[in-house]
Every structure is written in C-alpha cells, then in structure tokens.
C-alpha cells in the first residue's frame, strides 16, 4: 500500500513509519523538517507546513493518510479537503480524553464527547485540548464518512517518548534509593507501548477496518503499584518505594500527571486510566509484556545526554525535601 504520514519522525509517527516499512509499504512522510530530517533513508520525505502549505501534496495518490499531529479543526479540514479525492482512507490520531465525563470508569467509544463554547479557539489549554480533538474527529468524518479510522490512545510509552511520563518512573527506580510515589497502590494504570500501537494501526489499515477505537492497554487490570513493583523487579531491588499521602503531596505544591506522572489526583479525570478497550482488543490489538517495555525504555533512556532536561517528574532536590518532610511530619 501507499501510505502518507502527516508527521512521522517523532515517537508515534516514527513507530508508525517503522511498522509500515516492516510491512513493505510504500511510505511518504510530510513534515516540516525540524525533527529528525532524513531519519528514514528509504522513504520519500516532503517538507512543508500543514498550516497553509499543503499544495506540495496536490495531485498525488495514496491508499491511506495517517494524521499524527492534528490539533485544530481548521488545519485538519485543510488536509481532509485537499486529500479527499486522492486518498482512500483517513486515519486520525486523537486522544482518550475526548469524552465529556472522564470521572467514570470503563468509558466506551459511544460515550458523549467533550464540547466547547467557542469552537474558533486555537489555543491548546487544559480545557480546550480534548474538545479541539473532538472537533478534528468530526472534520475527518465529514470528509470520510465511511473511510475514517479514529484512534484514541491514552498514555503512549516506550523508547523515544518525548513526554517522560513513563520514562521518569523507569529511570527513577533504576537509580535506586527511596522513591517517592503517590499513595495510590491500587489506582488503575493504563498505557500502551508505542510499537504495539503502531503495528496495530497498520493492521487496521491493511484490514480495511474503520471506526472509533480506544487505543489503550493492557488487556488486564493494572495498577500504579503493580507497574512500579514491576520496574523494581526488572531494573533493581535497591529501590524502596515510599508511598506518600496524596493530600500531603499536593499541599506541598506537587502536581499530578506532570510532577508525578501517571498519577491522576483530580476526581473529574479519575476515569482517564480506566477506559474500556474491549473493542480494540476484538479488532486485534495485542500487548507485549510490560517487562520488555520497561527494559527497552531504560536502555534508550541511558543514551540521552547527562544534562538532559526532563519534561516530567520530580527533581531530585524536591523529592528529597518531600521525603524529609514526610518522615518528620509527626515531629
């Protein structure tokens, strides 16, 4: 098949291109040339900005387009409009946060979606990210009513993850010592290895499967405690996980999800790590063992420079300060 990737050199895009090449597909990557230009020597790269610079794609034919970086409906509309007569299927990477009520567990694809009052807003904030993705989904379905594939992933993890939300815990536990963790031993924890997600998306394209899918894993109930204990098992027994009360953590200026990744403290988002994935599993989504993801992520993490600026997680000084306060809280 001939597949066009809008974006394709960073994390999920990179994984998708690798999976497409492994499947012997003919790949074209359209991107700005700012991230990893020339990463794939064997693929055609077309440089351009999708915001008003899509003319370089005119007149070309592809079997499918995979949109990995659509955030604003106006911009997605430009690509859908230009490609509607030249591409058979539109694959859009959305988010598992698109649902109107994220406070409940087991959210299915048919649940009501998020909305926003002013649909002309083009600023990504905490209150606009999900509704903007919903509007992008609607645009894709407008132009491809029978041939759209909407993927709604949650926490995507693995090598080359630029967010550090998963990598922080892997690196921190490998470092050993006392590891501060939010007191949520049995809190649900969902993730998907980028390579499993990418290979499954290519499977859906090849199988001509369309529709909306929650792209989350694993296929069994997992907890934050279970994940962190698995990190200890795989990486080092020299790490002691210190479970600290969530209120104590937030009272000391620590934010969930960013300062302590994969921890959801807000009631309104407690369903984020409990999204229903039964439909995706029935459509062939499979998951590798978490031990492999942990090990591979750590090996990749070790290749980064010593002065790397982490995007998520507690700084060492802050963690030490909090642990000291926690142990001395009763005088």
C-alpha atoms less than 13 angstroms from C-alpha of 254 in its C-beta half-sphere: 29
- With b for 16 or more beta-carbon neighbours within 10 A and e for fewer, the 93-113 pattern comes to bbbbbbbeebeeeebebebeb
Q: What is the mean pLDDT of residues 28-37?
A: 91
What is the per-residue DSSP string for 164-217? -TTHHHHHHHHH-EEEEEES-TT-B--BEEHHHHHHHHHHHHHTT--EEEEE-B
Domain-wise residue ranges, the chain:
2-153, 167-190+218-273+289-327
Residue with tokens 């894993």: 217
Residue 58: band (very low, low, confident or very high) from pLDDT cuts 50, 70, 90: very high
Q: Is the pTM of this model over 0.85?
A: yes
Q: What is the mean pLDDT of residues 155-177?
A: 97
Q: Where are the beta strands (DSSP E) in the chain?
A: 2-6, 26-31, 44-47, 62-67, 87-93, 148-153, 156-157, 177-182, 192-193, 211-215, 239-244
Q: What is the mean pLDDT of residues 55-72?
A: 96
Q: Which CATH class is domain 2-153?
A: alpha beta
pLDDT for position 184: 67
Work out the percent of the chain whose per-residue pLDDT is above 90.
90
Q: Are 202 and 16 in contact (CB under 8 A)?
A: yes
């Amino acid at each position: 098949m001939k597949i066009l990737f809008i974006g394709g050199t960073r994390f999920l895009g990179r994984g998708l291109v690798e999976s497409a090449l492994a499947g012997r597909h003919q790949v074209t990557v359209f991107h700005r040339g700012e991230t990893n230009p020339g990463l794939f020597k064997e693929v055609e790269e077309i440089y351009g900005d999708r915001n008003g610079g899509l003319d370089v794609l005119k007149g070309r034919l592809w079997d499918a387009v995979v949109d990995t970086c659509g955030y604003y409906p106006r911009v997605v509309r430009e690509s859908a409009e230009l490609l509607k007569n030249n591409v058979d299927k539109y694959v859009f990477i959305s988010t598992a946060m698109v649902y109107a009520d994220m406070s409940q567990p087991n959210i299915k694809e048919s649940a009501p979606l998020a909305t926003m009052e002013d649909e002309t807003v083009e600023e990504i904030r905490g209150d606009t990210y999900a509704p903007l993705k919903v509007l992008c989904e609607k645009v894709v379905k407008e132009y491809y009513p029978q041939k759209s594939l909407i993927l709604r992933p949650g926490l995507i993890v693995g090598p080359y993850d630029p967010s550090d939300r998963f990598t922080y815990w892997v690196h921190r536990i490998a470092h050993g010592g006392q590891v501060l963790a939010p007191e949520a031993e049995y809190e649900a924890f969902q993730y998907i290895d980028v390579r499993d997600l990418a290979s499954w998306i290519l499977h859906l394209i090849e199988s001509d499967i369309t529709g909306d899918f929650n792209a989350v894993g694993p296929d069994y109930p997992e907890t934050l405690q279970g994940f962190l204990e698995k990190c200890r098992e795989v990486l080092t027994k020299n790490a002691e996980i210190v479970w600290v009360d969530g209120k104590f953590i937030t009272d000391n200026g620590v934010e969930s999800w960013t300062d302590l990744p994969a921890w959801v403290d807000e009631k309104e988002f407690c369903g984020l790590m409990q999204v229903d994935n039964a439909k995706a599993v029935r459509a062939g989504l499979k998951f590798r063992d978490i031990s492999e993801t942990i090990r591979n992520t750590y090996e990749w993490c070790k290749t980064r420079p010593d002065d790397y600026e982490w995007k998520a997680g507690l700084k060492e000084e802050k963690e030490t300060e909090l642990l000291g306060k926690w142990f001395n809280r009763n005088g």
